Amino acid sequence: MKQITTIGFIGTGVMGKSMVRHLLKGGYTVYVYNRTKAKASDLVEEGAVWIDTPKEIAETADVIMTMVGYPQDVEEIYFGEEGMLAHAKEGTIFIDFTTSTPTLAKRIYNEAKERNVHALDAPVSGGDVGAKEARLAIMAGGDEDAFEHCLPLFRLLGTNVLLQGPAGSGQHTKMCNQIAIASNMIGVCEAIAYAKKAGLNPEQVLESISTGAAGSWSLSNLAPRMIKGNFEPGFYIKHFIKDMKIALEEAELMQLDVPGLALAKEMYEELAEYGEENSGTQALYKRYIKE
């Protein structure tokens, strides 16, 4: 495989923006595209190169990374006459960081292979903090040679980088991640709400329980935001609902009953109906404490 010098990055949102910055610091030329151009203006000022369409990025970059909102967004930018797969140079490597469906990941992989290009599905976990601090968990699916070739790039973005198996395996692993988070977030919210109702100091309670058996990423990183009334998105509720829907659909196909996940999805959908879809996932706490 050829040496990587240029990277295309599509989707400069909450996490994508930080990821682009790490790639720039790594010495790569990074071409960026976002549906809302203004959201990439600061990256351009920092050295990224704006490109007008995904198609043009496909014609230009050695490796193309995507970090968009929904599976339909992924489908739109990869397929069709103006899609990236139809215009990529031979040997190009596509990396989709979007949490999407295993089925779509396999479809991208298969069409890429027919065109002599490579595709990895590589969803991430760690939220805005993990992206800013380059401590993302990256769970990949695809061919080992493409994964190994991109490992230096992955290591600029994360500290826990694993190839989970063939195409679609990264997305399946991310579903495991989201299932674990879904029920855990209910527990975190209920623990902090209980502490408050009991007249305890929630910060002090958190100091005690976060290092014991109850410890979790959500408890350490999102419970402090709940306590402070900070519900800004590290990860949007609307995107979490999308992920839980995918996980429920995949579980149903495997005839696996996941009642905890179903309950969490129902609770988050209630929040979204009350206008919280653009809040961070920690806003589930609002269901317990009205302030």
Catalytic residue among 17, 55, 174, 265: 174
The residue to which tokens 């990224």 are assigned: 48
- Is 113 noted as a catalytic residue in this protein? no
The neighbouring-strand residues paired with 63 are: 7, 93
Which three-class secondary structure state does DSSP give residue 216?
coil
Q: How far is CA 32 from CA 25, 41, 57, 175, in A?
A: 15, 10, 8, 28
CA 121 to CA 143: how far, in whole Å? 10
Residue 250's identity, in one-letter code, is E
Contact 62, 92 (CB under 8 A): yes
Nearest to 143 by CA among 172, 164, 115: 164
Which phi-psi region, left, alpha or beta, contains residue 61 (left: φ > 0; alpha: ψ -120 to 50)?
beta
Q: How far is CA 53 from CA 20, 95, 163, in A?
A: 17, 17, 30
Nearest to 141 by CA among 159, 118, 168, 160: 168
Which three-class secondary structure state does DSSP give residue 196?
helix
Contact 51, 31 (CB under 8 A): yes
**Tokens, residue 121:** 């599905």
Q: H/E element holding 95?
A: strand 93-96
Q: How far is CA 33 from CA 25, 77, 153, 222, 231, in A?
A: 18, 11, 19, 30, 28
Report, in angstroms and rounded to the nearest whole number, the Rg of the chain calculated over CA atoms: 20
Q: List residues with catalytic annotation.
A: 174
